[in-house]
Structure 1
Amino acid sequence: MAGHVALTALLYVVLTVARAPRVWGIGRRPDGTSPWAGIEPRISANLSNQFEWPLFFYAACLLLIHGQAQSRAALLLAWIFVAGRIVHGGVQILTANVRLRGLVFTINFLAVLGLWVLVVRALA
C-alpha cells in the first residue's frame, strides 16, 4: 500500500510541475504557452484513476491484514498491482496507446481480484 501511496504522491508532484506554467507562469515558453499543455490532462486523468480501482486494492489489503491472513501470494499480488499501476501510469501519460493501457489495466484488475479471492478464502 505504501508503494501505491508513493506513486500517487509522485503524480501530485508531476501534476503540480505540469501546471506551473499556467498557474504561476513558471516555465512558460517565450510565446506564453505551457510546454506541458499536451500532457497535463493525461497526468490529471491518471491521478484520478488512482482513486478508482485502487480502492478495492486497499480494502483487500486491510482485510487481509486485519484478519492476519497475509501470505506470500498476497504480497506478490500486491506488488504486481503496484508495478502495474506504475506501468499503467507511464502508458497513460506518455502514449495514446489505449490497447496497451487496457492490457496493463487488466493485469492490475486480475491482481486485485486475486487478493479478493484470498480475502474470501480467509474469511470463509
Structure 2
Amino acid sequence: MSPKAVLAPVLVQVLLTFCLLLWTGRKRFAAARDGQVELKDISLGERTWPAPVQQVSNAFANQFELPVLFYVLTGLALATAKADALFVGLAWLFVATRIVHAGIYATTNMVIRRFQAFLAGALVLMAMWLIFGAKILLA
C-alpha cells in the first residue's frame, strides 16, 4: 500500500485528538468564565470541573492511551513494508471506533456503549498487532 493510504487513518486519528483538545479548552474556558469552577480549585489539575467539561477532557486524555499502540504499529508496518489492504482496512475500522468512543464519552457518556466502542477498537488493534507479528515472525 502507498504511504498515503496507510497514513490517512493516522491523520484522521490525529485530527480527532486535536478537535478534542480544542473542545476541551473551549469547555474549560466557558466553565471558568461562567464561575462553575474557581481557578484555585483547578490550578493543580484536580478534577473539580463540571461533569460535561470532564467528559470532554477525559475523551481527549484517552487519545494518549490505546491510540499510542496504533501509532507505533503504523510506523512499524510502514518501515517493514507490511502494511497491505487488510492493514489499512483495519486501521480505518480502529479509527472509526475511536471516533465513536470519543463521541459517546464527550456527550451522553453511556458507559456500556462507551465500553463497547472501546472494546471493539481494542480487539481491532489486537488483531492488527497479531497479523503484523505473524507477518514478521513467519515470513
Fold-level match, TM-score > 0.5? yes
Conserved? CA contact 1:64–1:119, under 8 Å: yes
Partner in structure 1 of residue 115 of structure 2: 102
1:1-124 aligned at under 5 Å gives the runs: 1-23=10-32, 25=33, 28=34, 32-33=35-36, 37-124=50-137
Residues in 2 aligned to 1:12 and 1:52: alpha-carbon distance in whole angstroms = 15
Residues in 1 aligned to 2:109 and 2:26: alpha-carbon distance in whole angstroms = 21
Aligned-residue offset at 1:38: 3.3
After superposing the two structures, state which structure 1 stretch, 65-74 or 14-23, moved more: 14-23
Q: CA RMSD in A?
A: 1.7
Counterpart of 1:47, as a letter, is F
The runs of at least 4 aligned residues of structure 1 exceeding 3 Å deviation read none
Conserved? CA contact 1:67–1:122, under 8 Å: no
Alignment gaps of 5+ in structure 2? 1-9, 38-48
Counterpart of 1:102, as a letter, is F
For these two proteins, the number of residue pairs brought into alignment is: 117
Quote the sequence identity (%).
Answer: 28
Aligned-residue offset at 1:122: 2.2
Alignment gaps of 5+ in structure 1? none
Residues 103 and 37 (structure 1), Cα distance of their counterparts in 2 relative to 1, 3 Å cut:
same
* Structure with the larger helix share: 2
Residues in 1 aligned to 2:87 and 2:104: alpha-carbon distance in whole angstroms = 25
Residues in 1 aligned to 2:90 and 2:12: alpha-carbon distance in whole angstroms = 13
Aligned-residue offset at 1:33: 4.0
